[in-house]
Amino acid sequence: MTGRLVEDVAADLADPSWRIRKQACAAALEMIEAGDAGLAPLGVVLLRAVVQGENVGLRNAALEVLGRVGERALEPLVSAYDEVVPSARKFILDALGEGGDARALPTLLRALDSEDPNTRAASIEALSRVGGPEAERALAERLRGHDPFEAMAALDGLERLRARLPYNTLAPLLADRLLRRGALPLLGRCGDPRAAEALGAALGDASSHLAGASVCALWNLLGANVDSEMAVIQVAAELGAPEREGLLHLLASDEEAVRAAAARIAIWAREAEALGAVSQMAADGLLDAEALAPLRDWGSPCVRRLLVLSEQEFGRSAGIALELAAELAEEPALLPDLRATLRRALESEDLRRAEAAARGLGVWAQDEDAARLVQAARRGDELLARACAVSLAHLGERSPATVVQALEGATLEGSFGAAMARVAATLPVERAQALLATGVTATDPRARRAAIEALGALDHGTRSLDVRLALMDVDRGVQTAAARSMGAQSTRGSADDAAELAAALASPDASVRAAAAAGIRDRADRTSIALLGSLAEDENVSVAVEALLALGRLKAPELGRRARAGLGHAQAERRKAALRALAMVGTPDLGELAQDALADEAWDVRLAAAQILAGLGGTAAHEALSNRLEHEPDETVKAALDGLVRAGQEGGSPTG
């Protein structure tokens, strides 16, 4: 490597263009990796670049290289700390922090006692990058009686490290307004119930930054432990007017985390004015069911407020408010207002409000609502039609005659037909068949698919001719549904059904072939074994998997050859299906094959092998599972292995 090349890289590291500096960093790293003498030959160049103070871009580029070099930069930097002028030591500390090597801690800790404030500040920053218990203790020490600006920097560093400090260490800092903001997030992680009161009081602070930090800390404290949770709930319930006003202000924060935390605390505070924002955040996916659960304890005031909001808001937010009201309503006195609001919303031009109303009526619908739900399902919106269908199915369980009457004369077409087919399958069989027959001949393939699937779900009297004809439909999705329905019919199907299903194994569409193979498996139809054998090596993995499992269920003679080929396939799904198919047959060497599969590269294949071995039992299987448990890297498989091994031990000594 020539000196000229080093000079070129050094010049590029100082170039005004960040793109050229990036390229120079990459070149420098390549030079260092290619050498065998530490940082040589660029070490001197990089160290000089770090300690110079004129060109910030050059220094940052050098820091980036040194940070990525790792431990090879440690010794030169530590040695340089005492060699450079005191004013340049902060740059050495920056580089040590960038490297993140814990062996730099002695130098960083020594720098904390420097007379130069810039050096001390750089050491605090570097300690927060290196981390570890020793670094955290040193930073915590800077909180006691030192310069407030250094204490603030130490707090920021401790927050970056997600450190957990005792409440007694943090509480004295709250009196200092400069330090309070840095102390509040750490209070949220201290796990001490006493922190709840201080954090609650900070919600009313005039500074939105302090209030935001406080509400996020309260949220963290809420999940720390049972005692802290109870303390936060009590503080939330007892918030005064200024704190509640501050909480409502935080619901409009630009920071998503602050808004979400404020909503959670507002729910515990039973702050009715927050319910609009809560509904909107739930609609946006910022609040889950667990966060909304405390609303159940509010009682009727919450439900009534939500009903009002459902008519004031729009779109998904209105829908969430309405759904929450329907879910939380328990008092009989609320039901007339709830039903009236749901019925109005069902006719709303806002389709998302109407959809929420349809879902809400699932529990509270009365006989007179059946016709309303059918009419709403005809509006052409797929989501609304599905919601209406779910509620009609619930109503049909209580009052089937009402639903039959509401669907009298209906034709299953379009999104309405696709949704109502599922309702039809729950009706008395004669009415179900008549209604589904209109869906089988619908122009919309969605309705045809749904009708065919529903026919397959009928317990008896299935129109097998309609299902067979659907195998010749122009829509591949309808063909797939027909194949699945034939499988679901099992022994109820005719010989003609079996022949048509076998013919579907030759479909050019992979989903149809896979569904046909699954159908033959479910029907236990041995007449198609030869066709299934060729599909076991189909180019489509889903088809091959279904064929292998069908061969296993049918205990086909050729399974052994096909499955062993599958065990060596590159696709994990095929290997797993082959193993499970062999387990269905109980081949003599199943234990050996399963033990080999315990070392498979795919976690789900290893899991399947473990389950098969556990089912086989015996000393060899138990030892294989125990040995695998010691070396298993995947947590899901490890947990399963642990359970299987324990179950084997509790069942007594395995026997061969």
Which two three-digit tokens encode residue 15? 């170039």
Q: Is the pLDDT of residue 50 over 90?
A: no
The pLDDT tens digits for 355-410 are 999 999 988 999 999 999 999 999 999 999 999 999 999 998 889 899 999 999 89
Rounded to two decimals, the pTM is 0.65
Vertex 228: Cα angle to 224 and 234 (nearest 5) = 140
Report residue 217's pLDDT band, with 50, 70 and 90 as the boundaries.
Answer: very high
Q: Which helix (H) or strand (E) holds 515?
A: helix 510-523
Identity of the amino acid at 224: A
The pLDDT tens digits for 512-529 are 888 888 878 877 767 778
Span 4-8, average pLDDT: 71
The pLDDT tens digits for 285-305 are 899 888 998 998 898 889 999
pLDDT of residue 283: 87
pLDDT of residue 608: 94
pLDDT of residue 476: 83
Residue 254: φ, ψ to 5°: -75, -15
pLDDT mean across residues, the chain: 87
Q: Is the pLDDT of residue 1 over 50?
A: no
For residues 542 and 327, what is the distance between their CA atoms, to the nearest angstrom? 40
C-alpha dist (Å) from residue 226 to 214, 218, 231, 259, 291: 20, 14, 9, 24, 16
For residues 210 and 207, what is the distance between their CA atoms, to the nearest angstrom? 5
588: helix, coil or strand? coil
> In which region does residue 419 sit, left (phi positive, over 0), alpha (psi from -120 to 50) or beta (all else)?
alpha
Which range among 100-109, 332-341, 476-485 shows the weakest confidence by mean pLDDT?
A: 476-485
For residues 65 and 55, what is the distance between their CA atoms, to the nearest angstrom? 16
Name every residue whose Cβ is closer than 8 Å to that of residue 548 and which is 6 or more positions away in sequence.
Answer: 536, 559, 562, 563, 566, 574, 577, 578, 580, 581
159: helix, coil or strand? helix
Residue 485, CB-side half-sphere exposure with 13 Å CA sphere: 33
Q: Which helix (H) or strand (E) holds 248?
A: helix 241-250
Span 62-68, average pLDDT: 80
Query: For the chain, first and last CA: distance in Å?
Result: 67
Name every residue whose Cβ is closer than 8 Å to that of residue 425 and which is 6 or more positions away in sequence.
Answer: 432, 436, 454, 455, 457, 458
Place of tokens 């500040």: 121
Span 279-286, average pLDDT: 89
The pLDDT tens digits for 430-478 are 888 888 889 888 999 999 989 988 887 775 544 456 666 777 778 888 8
Report residue 351's pLDDT band, with 50, 70 and 90 as the boundaries.
Answer: very high
pLDDT of residue 125: 93
- Long-range contacts: 223-230, Cβ < 8 Å, 24+? 224/188, 224/189, 224/190, 224/191, 225/191, 227/193, 228/191, 228/192, 228/193, 228/195, 228/196, 230/193
Residue 399: φ, ψ to 5°: -145, 75
Span 534-542, average pLDDT: 88
pLDDT of residue 497: 61
CA proximity to 59, closest of 51, 69, 67, 71: 51
Report residue 653's pLDDT band, with 50, 70 and 90 as the boundaries.
Answer: very low
356: helix, coil or strand? helix
More confident residue, 650 or 87: 87
Name every residue whose Cβ is closer than 8 Å to that of residue 497 and which is 6 or more positions away in sequence.
Answer: 464, 467, 468, 486, 489
Place of tokens 């309808």: 478
Which two three-digit tokens encode residue 34? 């290619």
| Residue 33: other Cβ atoms inside 10 A | 10
Which range among 80-84, 475-479, 626-630 shows the weakest confidence by mean pLDDT?
A: 80-84
pLDDT of residue 2: 42
Q: Is the pLDDT of residue 590 over 70?
A: yes
More confident residue, 527 or 639: 639
Which range among 332-341, 496-505, 542-551, 632-641 shows the weakest confidence by mean pLDDT?
A: 496-505
Report residue 656's pLDDT band, with 50, 70 and 90 as the boundaries.
Answer: very low
CA dihedral 195, 200, 206, 209 (to 10 degrees): 60
Vertex 649: Cα angle to 646 and 655 (nearest 5) = 135
For residues 510 and 486, what is the distance between their CA atoms, to the nearest angstrom? 17
For residues 630 and 627, what is the distance between their CA atoms, to the nearest angstrom? 5
CA dihedral 647, 649, 650, 653 (to 10 degrees): 130
41: helix, coil or strand? coil
Q: Is the pLDDT of residue 593 over 60?
A: yes
Place of tokens 């005004």: 16
Span 264-269, average pLDDT: 95
pLDDT of residue 600: 93
For residues 57 and 223, what is the distance between their CA atoms, to the nearest angstrom? 43
Angle between helices 300-312 and 275-283 (to 10 degrees): 70
For residues 313 and 264, what is the distance between their CA atoms, to the nearest angstrom? 20
Q: Is the pLDDT of residue 645 over 60?
A: yes
Span 69-94, average pLDDT: 80
Burial class of residue 170 (count of CB atoms within 10 Å of its CB; 0-12, 13-18, 19+): buried
Place of tokens 């431990």: 71
pLDDT of residue 86: 82
For residues 559 and 590, what is the distance between their CA atoms, to the nearest angstrom? 13
Report residue 601's pLDDT band, with 50, 70 and 90 as the boundaries.
Answer: very high
For domain 1-163, give the CATH number. Answer: 1.25.10.10
86 close to 116: Cβ distance less than 8 angstroms: yes
115: helix, coil or strand? coil
> In which region does residue 253 sit, left (phi positive, over 0), alpha (psi from -120 to 50) or beta (all else)?
beta
Place of tokens 């059946």: 370
Which two three-digit tokens encode residue 446? 């969605």
| Residue ranges of domains in the chain | 1-163, 598-656
C-alpha dist (Å) from residue 251 to 238, 419, 455: 19, 38, 50
Report residue 655's pLDDT band, with 50, 70 and 90 as the boundaries.
Answer: very low
Span 611-623, average pLDDT: 90
64 close to 29: Cβ distance less than 8 angstroms: no
Q: Is the pLDDT of residue 652 over 70?
A: no
Q: Is the pLDDT of residue 80 over 50?
A: yes
654 close to 619: Cβ distance less than 8 angstroms: yes
pLDDT of residue 159: 93
